[in-house]
Amino acid sequence: MHTTRRVLVTGGAGFVGSHLCERLLERGNEVLCIDNFFTGARSNVAHLVGNPSFELLRHDVTFPLYVEVDEIYNLACPASPVHYQFDPVQTTKTSVHGAINMLGLARRLKARILQASTSEVYGDPVVHPQTEEYWGHVNPIGPRSCYDEGKRCAETLFFDYHRQHALRIKVARIFNTFGPRMHPNDGRVVSNFIVQALTGEPITLYGEGDQTRSFCYVDDLVEGLIRLMDTPDAVTGPVNLGNPNEFTIRQLAELVVELTGSASQLVHRPLPQDDPRQRQPDISKAKALLDWEPTLPLREGLIKTIGYFDGLLSEQR
């Protein structure tokens, strides 16, 4: 007999979290979405609030939470430089105290728990593409380290809880993800370029725009997270989840200009400190363990995302 699983999603009103909540509900789960609304938005989950299987709770993961659930997806943490550098101490607390609190909850409930880690654990990589065995090249005292080192420490905690308490853990390392419900002012390259193109502003390239990124559409990512959670207990990860197709930032800018029909010009700005030069996931593990790889091409994903931002900007006009 199939029993309904009650699933906790921290950061569930965020960009990725809201898409994950949707998919979990579609699968017949009960979903408890918690968010402190620092970067998440009620509007991202407003369409789910009437669903009897969905519950929304305002809560900050740096404080303990006492609820009854079967699975936990720990997504809570601002994920764009603009937001995580706004209050760097709180960013580290969210990653570290948040992990401790959620791991403690999972231990008490004997629940499976998945950590949404990040490709930023690899820092500015000297190995290309990045495999899960690579330990990274991270500046521990730079302006980005609140996020990079916070996420690295969270992974440490997950594996120590696994070894010390036999906790059933899953760790996903998420590479650049994009799609509807991205925050328009989050400073990430896809949302930046789309908003600049739609408003006719100049499109800002840092450096020459020859640094590379790999862009994964949010629906593909969510499928990967769910498949990882559903793997046998022996599969802990970390597992890279991202799109191995690599593009330069200049190529992305030119594609956004083409798809929006914008007259925006490309302008150059100095490179930010510790900005990674290359970012490309090796997803061999995800293919082998999860039978997963992204299916939506960048162009199609951008068309959907541009449509979302166009609607958003129309409401603001």
* Residues noted as catalytic: 147
Residue with tokens 């949707």: 22
Residue 314 token pair? 């129309």
Q: Which residues contact 314 (CB under 8 A, 6 or more apart)?
A: none
Evaluate whether 249 touches 206 at the Cβ level (below 8 Å).
yes
Question: What are the E-state strand segments in the chain?
Answer: 6-10, 30-35, 54-58, 71-74, 112-118, 169-174, 177-178, 203-206, 212-214, 216-217, 239-241, 246-248, 266-269
Measured at the CA of 73, the angle between CA 48 and CA 277, to 5 degrees, comes to 105
Long-range contacts for 194-197 (Cβ within 8 Å, ≥24 apart)?
194/256, 194/260, 194/302, 194/305, 194/306, 194/309, 195/309, 195/313, 196/264, 197/256, 197/257, 197/260, 197/262, 197/264
